[in-house]
Structure 1
Amino acid sequence: MAKRIAVIGAGMGGLCAAILAREAGHDVTIYEHADSVGGTWRANRYPGVACDVPAILYQFSFAPNHNWSHNYARGPEIHAYTKSLVDQFDLGGSLHLNEGVTRATWDPAAKHWTVETEKGALETFDAIVPALGQLSRPTLPDITGVESFKGAKFHAAEWPDGIELTGKRVGVIGSAASAVQFIPEVAKDAAALVVFQRTANWVIPRNDLAVTDETKVLMATNLPVAMRLGAQQRAMIFDNADTFFWQAFQFTPEGRAAFTRTALDHLEEQVPDAELRAKLIPDYPIGCKRILITDDFYPALMRDNVTLETNGIVAVEQTGVRTTDSFHDLDVLIFATGFETTAWNWSMEVVGAEGRTLKETWKDGPEAYLGIMVHGFPNMFMLYGPNTNLGHNSISFMIEAQVGYMLKALAAIETDEAQVAEVTADGQRRFNDRIAQLLSGSVWADPHCKSWYKAANGRVYQNWSGNCAAYAEETAEVDREAVALV
């Protein structure tokens, strides 16, 4: 029997859930707060925005794209890909843009969810799929005087349309994943660019290549062969990431040594200045923080108009930034300071079976079963939930596994002539105890490691405890000892 499913969020996860659930025969409604699908690829518009996972991996297995312009897809292309999925799979009639969900409440008697939207609509559903992402709430640094700055200032994730940086003195606070993408672009236009680096990052080469128009035509005219070769290439890149790259995070001496050497060789090759190189070598093990994959960040730092500032910021003043030993006059200040990741403050309220909100349930830290289900919240299947983030491979693979698990759970409900699937308290506890033990052997648990992957209490709530193959195995079937069907 088909279920009525509310998918909340129309990024990569929400679109995957909607497509596969509809193909399985379910009735799907998609709610999206913004005016377009795409999630992070709609929101992030900074110059140079791109994915740091090869494009052939960062797409869905059921919707391959042979028209990427580079081996690593640019943000606007990925946004276009998400919009193409709406057309390809005829989702338009199920998609509610400019209508996010403000509240979802489980009714224990009726055994359904009531969803309330920003437009005041109330609808009931058998199941909900929150697909709200993890990296969607920008954070600003707690620096004295930030509000006093008189020039233009903005977070990189909220890049203003039409901002003109040509001839301007620009300061960038932060030097991590977003910064290494837009700094090379900003450096081409700015009269002067100061990069304020608090912590150095491990950087490895991207070795990106453009895909020529001739190659695209050749593939299009020989599509069956291109698809077969593409599948083989995808499998090879996946296996390399899942086996070899994973060992930089699994805390194996060989993996750590190999990728540390790769990063140091990349640095030495691109930065001949020994003094500058010394400022760019991290003091923590590789993999602790997100490993950055870029070819042009280091060369940008070598430009005459770019300064790397590693002295601590004392305050932001009306006309610039004061560090411990100097003052930098600036016209524009850009914050590349990341996102709120550990509080898990969703943009909607979720009320479970006992009248308890998800925020209350997670007040001591977010916990889920497989990153998908939460005890006390029946028929809720979240995507990209706690402990499903990756440092080594593609999240699109994880999303497909999560959606596949949801469909298996819904099928089990039908087989058992039940109405509800809910992880038990014991099933959730045993799962989280086990992955906490596995994570204790990862680089993220290193006592010298401080990152957004880890909460203040030392728990790693973000990342999966193994490689993608291990997650596929975990989600291959519904464990009836952990999940109750009633």
Structure 2
Amino acid sequence: MAQHEHVRVAVIGSGFGGLGAAVRLRREGVTDFVVLERAAGVGGTWRDNSYPGCACDVPSHLYSFSFAPNPDWPRTFSGQEHIRAYLEHVADTFGLRPHLRFGAEVRRMTWDARQLRWDIETAAGAFSADVVVSATGPLSDPKIPAIPGLDSFEGEVFHSARWNHDYDLRGKRVAMVGTGASAIQIVPAIQPHVARLTLFQRTPPWVMPRVDRAIGAAERGLHRALPFTTRARRGLLWGIRELQVQAFTKHPDELGLVEKLALRNMARAVKDPALRAKLTPDYRIGCKRILLSSTYYPALTRRNVDVVASGLAEVRGSTVVAADGSTAEVDAIVFGTGFHVTDMPIAERVVGVDGRTLAETWKDGMQALRGASAAGFPNWMTIIGPNTGLGNSSMILMIESQLNYLADYLRQLRVLGGRVALDARPGAVAAWNDKVQERMRRTVWNTGGCTSWYLDANGRNTTIWPGTTTEFRRATQRVDLAEYDVIRPPLAGDGAGDGAAGEAGEPGARSGAEVGA
């Protein structure tokens, strides 16, 4: 690798967002780009999460790119190994390998106002890029709570996204902390093998049956022979979820029937009234992500499982202590406690036009124009940015919409010509965010009576999109230049190179006239 490599576009991350961006760049005729990946392989979330039982809760044919259909999914809900293999296939099929730079964790990226480029320091060397696409994803950096005494625990400790496959849980006493999407898959996978499993549950989840099955050879053969059947299957799955959105976003009271189905699902598996009481949520279904499992509840009824309806509060030697005072002796602690979603660590490493980091800009809450552009960070875009998450459908749909926005962003830069950058106007970002938050007020995620990882430290929902995927696709189909300042290099002799400001009081000359101001 050269000591310093300059490219047109630098993509950060090689999960669904990063690989999708790379494919879209090639389809747009952009081949001068790199994909910077901190790990040794592609896959993102589906590379890092390899815990026992790891699988997707979105149907396979919907949880894949529309431009890369897979007729050979082996199950209706795919396991981690199949999804990672799919992403490896995408990297190979679309010729992305030459663009990948592994072991290239981004340590810092800084906007150069004179050169109109991003200078990027990585573990694999220095890069610069005219445009940066940040596709690190919200589920990439595990969050382990600060538990008193945890540092002195002599047993094994790891997060579900950093599973220690060298440690054999068989015959061990295990504490599972958390009852989210990962935990309900881990519990039934390890329960038959451990000596004792103590589950620490702060808040019980709503769990619906997982209607999963193997997809037979004849069915897969039909999809290979008649590709339109794969598209039709995907379209049907998408349409069903689009029809469900209003119950989450406008009419949460309509979810009462779904709650009854979930309670019936629990009652079939859990006969003990005391255990059912522990497992019954006291908030509206959908406020947290609805989880799918047909094995979680049965696993909790086994004789070697204890459900503690309280969070882990302290560790004393080999003793774990719950907030309610109950204790258990354990050999290993597994955290299924989620990720840094509303405080993504990558934001600490992105330095914008005024010398502030993205984290400082977002200290009162994440916000970005159409989920992509942050004011003060020219030619920087994020995939799966603020308020682009989904509570009931496939994130791949949102990613593809953002790729449309990225493609038009690059087209606009070409039309403007020369060295040029676009910086989202603060007013445009604020107006977009205000509209999103206004729509959010009536949704189940804000009114359902729960505390979820969708909410930031200020109680604002900066994660979920409060509408349909169709609405988001329309909103991101084209870049509206009126929402951006156009930045050009400072004119010769204007002193910008010595720290003088451009037309808008910042390095580089900004133009409002070009964008219809």
Does 2:146 match 1:147? no
1:248 & 1:449 partners in 2: Cα distance?
Answer: 17
Partner of 2:136: 132
2:163 & 2:412 partners in 1: Cα distance?
Answer: 45
Partner of 1:241: 241
2:58 & 2:173 partners in 1: Cα distance?
Answer: 32
1:243 & 1:442 partners in 2: Cα distance?
Answer: 15
Instruction: Choose the corresponding residue for 2:124, options 116, 119, 124.
Output: 119
Partner of 2:8: 4
Farther off after superposition, 475-484 or 392-401: 475-484
Structure 2, unmatched stretches of 5+, are 1-6, 488-517
Partner of 1:160: 164
One-letter code aligned to 2:332: V
1:255 & 1:406 partners in 2: Cα distance?
Answer: 36
Partner of 2:430: 429
Residue 346 of structure 1: SS of its match in structure 2? helix
- Cα displacement (A) at 1:368: 0.6
Does 2:306 match 1:302? no
1:181 & 1:358 partners in 2: Cα distance?
Answer: 34
Partner of 1:54: 59
The question of whether the paired residues in 2 share the 8 Å contact of 1:104 and 1:348 is answered with: no
1:137 & 1:282 partners in 2: Cα distance?
Answer: 28
Does 2:86 match 1:81? yes
One-letter code aligned to 1:68: W
Partner of 1:205: 209
- Cα displacement (A) at 1:273: 2.5
2:348 & 2:313 partners in 1: Cα distance?
Answer: 37
Partner of 1:329: 329
> Map of 1:35-50 to 2, 5 A cutoff?
35-50=40-55
Residues 31 and 197 (structure 1 numbering): CA distance in 2 closer, same or farther, change over 3 Å? same
- Cα displacement (A) at 1:203: 0.9
1:233 & 1:327 partners in 2: Cα distance?
Answer: 49
One-letter code aligned to 1:19: V
> Which stretches of structure 1, 4 residues or more, deviate above 4 A after TM superposition?
311-314
Does 2:382 match 1:382? yes
- Cα displacement (A) at 1:141: 2.5
The question of whether the paired residues in 2 share the 8 Å contact of 1:194 and 1:307 is answered with: yes
Partner of 1:230: 230
Partner of 2:274: 275
- Cα displacement (A) at 1:299: 1.2
One-letter code aligned to 2:367: E
Partner of 2:317: 318
Partner of 1:259: 258
1:410-449 CA distance string (max 9 Å, x none): 1122223362222211111110111110011112222732
How many correspondences in the alignment? 478
Residues 328 and 312 (structure 1 numbering): CA distance in 2 closer, same or farther, change over 3 Å? same
1:325 & 1:421 partners in 2: Cα distance?
Answer: 56
1:196-252 CA distance string (max 9 Å, x none): 111111111221111234543x33xx6242x211211111111111221x2342141
The question of whether the paired residues in 2 share the 8 Å contact of 1:247 and 1:255 is answered with: no
- Cα displacement (A) at 1:339: 1.4
- Cα displacement (A) at 1:169: 1.6
1:337-396 CA distance string (max 9 Å, x none): 111222222176222223332122112221111110111111111111111111111111
1:204 & 1:376 partners in 2: Cα distance?
Answer: 43
2:355 & 2:348 partners in 1: Cα distance?
Answer: 15
Residues 422 and 325 (structure 1 numbering): CA distance in 2 closer, same or farther, change over 3 Å? closer
Partner of 1:339: 339
Farther off after superposition, 78-87 or 147-156: 147-156
Farther off after superposition, 304-313 or 80-89: 304-313
Residues 474 and 272 (structure 1 numbering): CA distance in 2 closer, same or farther, change over 3 Å? same
Q: CA RMSD in A?
A: 1.8
Structure 1, unmatched stretches of 5+, are none
Partner of 1:34: 39
Farther off after superposition, 304-313 or 152-161: 304-313
Farther off after superposition, 28-37 or 304-313: 304-313
One-letter code aligned to 1:149: F
Residue 481 of structure 1: SS of its match in structure 2? helix
2:434 & 2:325 partners in 1: Cα distance?
Answer: 48
Partner of 2:501: none
Farther off after superposition, 234-243 or 336-345: 336-345
Residue 382 of structure 2: SS of its match in structure 1? coil
Partner of 2:173: 169
Does 2:484 match 1:483? yes
Partner of 2:362: 362
The question of whether the paired residues in 1 share the 8 Å contact of 2:54 and 2:186 is answered with: yes
- Cα displacement (A) at 1:313: 4.2
Q: TM-score, normalised by structure 2?
A: 0.88
Residue 470 of structure 2: SS of its match in structure 1? helix
Q: TM-score, normalised by structure 1?
A: 0.94
The question of whether the paired residues in 2 share the 8 Å contact of 1:388 and 1:398 is answered with: yes
Instruction: Choose the corresponding residue for 1:190, options 174, 190, 194.
Output: 194
One-letter code aligned to 1:242: E
Residues 311 and 124 (structure 1 numbering): CA distance in 2 closer, same or farther, change over 3 Å? closer
Partner of 1:452: 453
Residues 243 and 28 (structure 1 numbering): CA distance in 2 closer, same or farther, change over 3 Å? same
One-letter code aligned to 1:291: I
1:395 & 1:370 partners in 2: Cα distance?
Answer: 15
Give aligned-pair identity as a percent.
39
Farther off after superposition, 348-357 or 377-386: 348-357
1:32 & 1:326 partners in 2: Cα distance?
Answer: 43
2:346 & 2:136 partners in 1: Cα distance?
Answer: 7
The question of whether the paired residues in 2 share the 8 Å contact of 1:320 and 1:331 is answered with: no
The question of whether the paired residues in 2 share the 8 Å contact of 1:453 and 1:461 is answered with: yes
